Amino acid sequence: MTAILPYAPQIAQKHMLSLKDYSSEEILELLELAVELKKPENKTLPLLEGKVLGMIFEKSSTRTRVSFEAGMLQLGGHAMHLSTRDIQMGRGEAISDTAQVLSGYLDGIMIRTFDQATVQEMADHSSVPVINGLTDDFHPCQVLADLLTIQEHFGSCAGKKMAYIGDANNMANSLMIGAAKVGMDIAIASPAAYAPKPEMVELAQAIALKTGATILVTTDPVEAVAGCDVIYTDVWASMGQEAEALERLEHFQGYQVNEELAAHANPNYIFMHCLPAHREEEVSTGILEGPHSVVFQEAENRLHAQKALLVALMAGQ
């Protein structure tokens, strides 16, 4: 690979289950490779020629499916969509059996599911790399794209401040970890009933101690946004929480990212959202579609960040 690209990452990890498993240096090297692969002249380098990625979906997807599939094609490989409605795992076949069978056919497995334990069990029994495409606990691939986007805008993530407003879900967990890993301060503002789990905060704080980052958890959105460089939000009811949508709508009143709240950020702040967005719920239309919004650049960067991850994990297999 080094003969084709001037930069090759040194990644010790076999899988991508969560960013907590990656060192700060490994994350920065993945971002550097993503920068290289995003250059137009490197779009179709055949770094994964002949490789096949199996993509297991228990949760529906737009960005995850299309970005991984397009990424594998651009790298000279192939991606295979495996809905749990179509494979035996959806009919009760053991995850361990599925992992061992697929390992004999594929060069990598991406799985988008509910329980983090499912991804962990898949990795425990797989002889090929397993990538967490999303669980209820973590969304590491999205955060790689987020960090790439922040780096593109500010030159570096280190020393910047992010404010995450809303439900302390898988995105909040992964953003806390990712921000801490690269030395970026982060403030999470959520209603008390939807605050981050203490173990997730403790994990992020332990990482932050090593990088000089700070972690703030508050119920006050204004406190979180004050002086920040990045404002981030997500839907108030994620997949699987549809029955709670009306109740959550009441709890999150006052947590909308709008022009009034954004006025407390730095003048050159950027607005981010992992999408899909619900206009006039977690974010006003003016912010989502306004001059500070980078949500579509962020969405595109899923492709480039994941291509870097695929190359790092699969090129040497």
**Residue 256 assigned to a binding site:** no
Query: Residue 2: is its pLDDT beyond 50?
Result: no
What mean pLDDT value characterizes the chain?
95
Task: Quickly state the pLDDT bin for 217 (edges 50, 70, 90).
Answer: very high
- Token pair for 172: 């909040």
Q: Round to whole Å and give the CA distance between 229 and 115.
A: 32
Set 125, 248, 273, 302: catalytic member: 302
- Token pair for 226: 């004050």
Residue 10: the pLDDT is 75
The answer to whether the beta carbons of residues 244 and 202 sit under 8 Å apart is no
Q: How is the chain split into domains, by residue range?
A: 15-138+301-315, 142-298
**Residue 249 assigned to a binding site:** no
Query: Residue 238: is its pLDDT beyond 90?
Result: no
**Residue 85 assigned to a binding site:** no
Higher pLDDT, 213 or 247: 213
112 is catalytic: yes
Strand partners, 230: 162, 270
Report CA dihedral (129, 171, 179, 27) to the nearest 10 degrees.
10
Residue 84: the pLDDT is 84
The answer to whether the beta carbons of residues 287 and 258 sit under 8 Å apart is yes
């490779």: which residue's tokens? 33
100 is catalytic: no
Q: Round to whole Å and give the CA distance between 288 and 291.
A: 9
Residue 256: the pLDDT is 98
**Residue 234 assigned to a binding site:** yes
Class of domain 142-298 (CATH, top level): alpha beta
Q: In sequence order, what DSSP letters do the residues of the chain get, joined into one string?
A: -TTT-S-------S-BS-GGGS-HHHHHHHHHHHHHHHSGGGTT--TTTT-EEEEEESS--SHHHHHHHHHHHHTT-EEEEEETTTSGGGGT--HHHHHHHHHTT-SEEEEE-S-HHHHHHHHHH-SS-EEEEE-SS--HHHHHHHHHHHHHHHS-STT-EEEEES--SHHHHHHHHHHHHTT-EEEEE--GGGPPPHHHHHHHHHHHHHHT--EEEES-HHHHHTT-SEEEE--SS-TT-GGGHHHHHHHTTT--B-HHHHTTS-TT-EEEE-S---BTTTB-HHHHTSTTB-HHHHHHHHHHHHHHHHHHHHTT-
- Mean pLDDT value of segment 146-153: 98
Query: Residue 243: is its pLDDT beyond 90?
Result: no
pLDDT digits (tens, 9 = 90+) for 70-114: 999 999 999 999 988 888 887 889 999 999 999 999 999 999 999
**Residue 40 assigned to a binding site:** no
**Residue 275 assigned to a binding site:** yes
Query: Residue 179: is its pLDDT beyond 70?
Result: yes
pTM of the complete model:
0.95
Higher pLDDT, 177 or 244: 177
**Residue 170 assigned to a binding site:** yes
- Token pair for 2: 């080094």
Residue 255: the pLDDT is 98
248 is catalytic: no
Q: Considering only 87-101, 216-230, 295-309, which range has the smallest mean pLDDT?
A: 87-101
Set 15, 74, 107, 112: catalytic member: 112
- Mean pLDDT value of segment 223-228: 98
- Mean pLDDT value of segment 229-258: 88
142 is catalytic: yes
Class of domain 15-138+301-315 (CATH, top level): alpha beta
Residue 246: the pLDDT is 83
Asked whether the domain spanning 142-298 has the same topology as the one spanning 15-138+301-315, the reply is: yes
Set 74, 142, 151, 256: catalytic member: 142
| Percentage of the residues of the chain whose pLDDT score is greater than 90 | 88
Residue 234: the pLDDT is 97
Residue 317: the pLDDT is 63
Set 137, 146, 229, 234: catalytic member: 234
pLDDT digits (tens, 9 = 90+) for 246-297: 888 889 999 999 999 999 999 999 999 999 999 999 999 999 999 999 999 9
Find, among 227, 190, 228, 188, the residue nearest to 205 by Cα.
Answer: 188
Q: How many CB atoms lie within 10 A of CB 286?
A: 15
**Residue 62 assigned to a binding site:** yes
**Residue 64 assigned to a binding site:** yes
pLDDT digits (tens, 9 = 90+) for 4-55: 566 667 788 999 999 999 999 999 999 999 999 999 999 999 999 999 999 9
Set 125, 157, 229, 274: catalytic member: 274
Set 139, 248, 273, 304: catalytic member: 139
139 is catalytic: yes
**Residue 141 assigned to a binding site:** yes
